Each structure stands twice: as C-alpha cells, then as structure tokens.
Structure 1
C-alpha cells in the first residue's frame, strides 16, 4: 500500500488542497465558527484604525475576512497558497473587487511587497513550520505606521482543552501540536502570548491591542442549544474577551501590531 501524499509544502507548511471542504465545515460550519466571526465583527473596528486603507489579506482562506473589509471600502488583495481554498474564496467574493493572488506567505515580499498600511493575517502562523520567520516577513511588508491584525491559535488554550478532555498524559508531555498528516486539523505550530510578544519586538513591531477569541465556548461540556443560550454565550464572550486573565485563554489570540513611524532609537533621542 502506498503512503498517503503529505499535505505539507516543501517548506514544511500545512496547506489545504484536498481539505478545503473539511476546513470549511470544521472551522466555519458550526456555532464556533459563527461565534468567531461575530466576535471579529465587533473587535476589528475597536482594535484597528480603519480608514479604507489598501489591505493585504495573508492566507485569506475562504475569503470571509476579505469580504468583510471589501464591504467597508478597503481595496483588498487576498493571498492564499491553496487553489481549492481560492476557488471557494472567489465564490464568497463574487461581486467584490478583490485582487486574488495564489501565493504562500514567503513569496509575498516579491509578489506583493507594498509597503502596506494594513495587513490581516488570521489563523495562518500556526500552520507554518517557521512562524517566527513569517512574522518577520509580515513586518517587512508594513509601511511605517502600518497595522498588522494578527490572530494565532493559542497553545495555552490547547493545553487546557486537552486537560478538560482528560488527555492528562498528553498535556504533561506537552505534545500539543499536530503533525500535519492525513485530515487532522490540529495546528502544527500553536503559539503562546510570550512568543508573540518576543517575536514582535524582534521584528520592530509594537503590540497595540490584544483580545481572546472564544475564551469560554470551547470549554463547554455541551454547546448551547437554544438561541437564547447562544446569545448569552456571545454576551459573555464580548464582555470578557479583552479582560485579563480571560483573554489569555481564548482559543485564538487576536492582536493589533504596529510598525512605528520612526525606529525606537529615534523616538527616544
């Protein structure tokens, strides 16, 4: 029997050709996906200075965020390495004037160098073999004063989720990341807040805003069944998504990072 073809790219990144339908169903097809989008709908205007700037959506996937920004007057370029994901994104974006580019993050300094006043990179770094280098690449694409909306899969939340499920040995051994094989959708590089802090500083970026996405929902024993309970859950998420310590255990961590107009040594001189 032949070995299955690896979904990893030559760089070791997880792409989603052959998995676009499963990705759509698992990440957006249920209540958790709806909750994620509802929280972003509120948080993005709060956490970003939005003035209709041109925008680069990195790893834009199925096109939901590109659609959101295009509807608000931004000239959007969506970059995504998976042809299957792009096909679904084009359906999502039908009628929108969005520039679509099939390319991995590593190719963007050549194919979409900018500099960009606004970059969105949501739920991408955790699927890359070198998320640290990827963040440095994104920083290099920003214009002075430019903003990066970064969302990453939270390693600490993944640990707690495994404990809640009874996977105590796995949590103790810190075997949390996926291997990128077959059709499992556990990220290969889940990140901690400490890593985001350190790598942002290395790349010359300043953290302006922070929030947790789904700080409660993923730990419920049973998902809410009634509309009233779903509304209560959304209200709880909205109330505590930016409150310490709750935001730190969101399934995803959402940041606004900014490239200073002047380097730190100039601003303190």
Structure 2
C-alpha cells in the first residue's frame, strides 16, 4: 500500500501522493464525481474552441480530462506531481496520444514552456499556497491566441455549505480553508469569482465564459440515489450552470480565459 503524504510540500502546496485510491473511489466512484465529469462533457465544447490544437493538462490527476481531449484529436501533455496519480493516469491513457510528465506547476515554464494554444487546469489552484502566482505562471505559458480552461473550488460555495451543515462558528470566524493534512480534501486556498477576475486582469487575460459545476448537488438533503433522480438532477445542473445567480454557488467555478487583446474588435 502506498503511504499517504501527511504534510504540505516545501512550497506550501498540497500534493496527493498515496491518494489515488481515494480519488478514484471516494470522488470519481460516486455521484459527485460522475456529475462533475458529465457536466464538463457538456460545458467544455460550448466554452472552448476545440480544433485539435496541442493541449497542456496541468495537474491532470487520474487523466480523465487528458483522455477526453485525446479522444477529440488533441495531442495532450499531462503534468502531475503525485507519483501514484500519474501512474494511474498512464495506465488509463496507454495507447493514446497523451504524453505525461512528473512536474509541479512551478516547473512548467522551464520544462514545458509552450506557448500553448490550449491549457487546462482543473481543481489545482485551490491546492496551491499562492494561487495568484500560479495563475500568473499559467498565463505565461499561453499562446497569443490561446485559451485557458480554469476550474477552481468556490470559496462562496464552501461558506454556504458550512452554514447548511451548521458550522456557524467556523463561518463567523471565516475559517473555511483546510490545513492540507492527512486525507481531508478541504482545499487550502478556496477562491472567489472576484479574485479570478482581478488576477486575470493582472495577467492580461479576460473571462470569455464562466459556469458553475455542481450548483445543487452538494446542498441536497436527500442525494439523488436512483438513476431517474440523477437524470433529473443532471438536467437541472445543466440548465442553470450558466444562469445568474445560480452558477455563482457551484462547488466549482469554470472559466475560459483568453488574452485581452483577442477580445478587441
């Protein structure tokens, strides 16, 4: 059995060495993971221009997104710092066009500088000690007409969820972030929409599209257990994923960021 990392990296980031089984079983093996992937399958073709361009999948984890892109004709480079996660991804993606590297995000400018016409970075920044600097790094890798698909864990949704669960003292003290210890999966740097807007502007990027992922599921008192209930929930999630005000309370916020000059007439 692989040992589970119980501490942060020297940079203060949270990696997931020894947690491939937990991600595969507790996340993607359950409805919440199934729902996340199903929504991305619908949202990404609407939010991105996908024409087979080379793609960099940052923090690609178990390889689901890299495989999704490879099936659509993209030559994908996956980077993932956790050894067992990367091994699972390599097994999943054997025989595809995906290449992989054992790299943290900070090493990408040296090892995979691009420039990349398409970068995906999903559920990574919230595990970084300095997500603002991480977004600046991603922006530096982007080609002039490139697209960055960014998905982050929503701090506002985390606050709302804690109130629903009765964790009132935690919310009043604004103690929402996790500590990055052992196997708990509360992000150390949950992010807000306003932060993404501000940091994007700092790096010459603008938000072209945005959506909420899992805007209802995580607040259900009675989870959708049977297939019919799940089908209805998926339809509701899809219907309101890009609608004000609902998308802003998605567990994850999904963005397409592009260079600002590309949006000028």
TM-score in terms of structure 1 length? 0.95
Q: Distance in 2 between matches of 1:36 and 1:23?
A: 13
Would you say 1:249 and 2:246 are equivalent positions? Answer: no
The residue correspondences of 1:211-230 to structure 2 (distance < 5 A) are: 211-230=211-230
Q: 1:190: Cα distance to partner?
A: 0.3
Q: 1:80: Cα distance to partner?
A: 0.5
Unmatched 5+ residue regions in structure 1? Answer: none
SS in 1 for 2:254: strand
SS in 2 for 1:121: strand
User: Residue 5 of structure 2 contacts residue 16 of structure 2 at CA under 8 Å; is this kept in 1?
Assistant: no
Would you say 1:112 and 2:112 are equivalent positions? Answer: yes
Q: Distance in 2 between matches of 1:165 and 1:8?
A: 27
Partner of 1:25: 25
Runs of 4+ in structure 1 off by over 4 angstroms are none
Partner of 1:258: 258
Q: Distance in 1 between matches of 2:13 and 2:212?
A: 25
CA 1:99–1:161 in 2, change beyond 3 Å: closer, same or farther?
same
SS in 1 for 2:100: strand
Partner of 1:200: 200
Q: 1:7: Cα distance to partner?
A: 3.0
SS in 1 for 2:22: helix
SS in 2 for 1:190: coil
Partner of 2:41: 41
What do the CA deviations read for 1:145-197 (whole angstroms, capped 9, x no partner)?
10000000000000010011110111111100000011111100000000000
Q: 1:5: Cα distance to partner?
A: 5.9
Q: Distance in 2 between matches of 1:220 and 1:149?
A: 28
Q: Distance in 2 between matches of 1:101 and 1:160?
A: 37
SS in 1 for 2:50: coil
Q: 1:91: Cα distance to partner?
A: 1.6
User: Residue 213 of structure 1 contacts residue 251 of structure 1 at CA under 8 Å; is this kept in 2?
Assistant: yes
Partner of 2:187: 187
Q: Kindly report the root-mean-square deviation, in angstroms, between the aligned alpha carbons of the 2 structures.
A: 1.4
User: Residue 7 of structure 1 contacts residue 16 of structure 1 at CA under 8 Å; is this kept in 2?
Assistant: no
The residue correspondences of 1:52-71 to structure 2 (distance < 5 A) are: 52-71=52-71
Partner of 1:10: 10
What do the CA deviations read for 1:87-113 (whole angstroms, capped 9, x no partner)?
110121122121101000000000000
Unmatched 5+ residue regions in structure 2? Answer: none
Aligned residues: 262
Q: Distance in 1 between matches of 2:42 and 2:177?
A: 30
Q: Distance in 2 between matches of 1:30 and 1:153?
A: 18
Q: 1:136: Cα distance to partner?
A: 0.3
Q: 1:261: Cα distance to partner?
A: 4.7
